Amino acid sequence: MFYKKNNSGYKTPARGVQLKTLVHGEKTHLCEFRIDKGGLIPEHSHPHEQTGYLVSGRIKFILGDEAFDAGPGDSWCVPGDIVHKGEALEESVIVEVFSPVRDDYL
């Protein structure tokens, strides 16, 4: 599967948050998130392992009782079933890989 960058096909799972599946395979799923300044990723958990990279902006993540202020070039890995949330301190772009594939994002 290949993906050629374009600006269509984004979903809005939360106010100020846009999500787009870029590519996926049998076991992994690559997504792009565009988050407005002040956009909130509500507290949630899922069975998928989630590995991310902050392309631009600033995000404050809360994983359980641990806080992490991410800037451009920072990355993270959230194990499955861990409660987490986030807030965009600036307009931000994130690229994340989920495993297994998130059917709800297809």
- 63 lies in which domain range? 33-96
* pLDDT score for 18: 97
pTM metric for this prediction: 0.93
pLDDT higher than 90, residue 1: no
Q: How far apart are CA 52 and CA 56, in angstroms?
A: 12
86 domain-assigned: yes
CATH number at residue 61: 2.60.120.10
CB neighbours of residue 72 within 10 Å? 13
- The answer to whether residue 14 sits within a structural domain is no
Confidence of residue 82 (pLDDT cuts 50, 70, 90): very high
- Give DSSP secondary structure letters for 39-106: -EEEEE--SSEEEEEEEES-EEEEETTEEEEE-TT-EEEE-TT--EEEEESS-EEEEEEEES--GGG-
Residue 62 lies in a domain: yes
Give the pLDDT confidence score for residue 2 in this predicted structure. Answer: 92
Assess if residue 92 is contained within a domain: yes
Look at residue 21 and tell me whether its pLDDT is greater than 90: yes
70 in a structural domain: yes
Number of domains in the chain: 1
CA dist 23 and 102 (Å) reads 11
Phi/psi at 27 (nearest 5 deg)?
-120, -15
Looking at residue 64, its pLDDT comes to 85
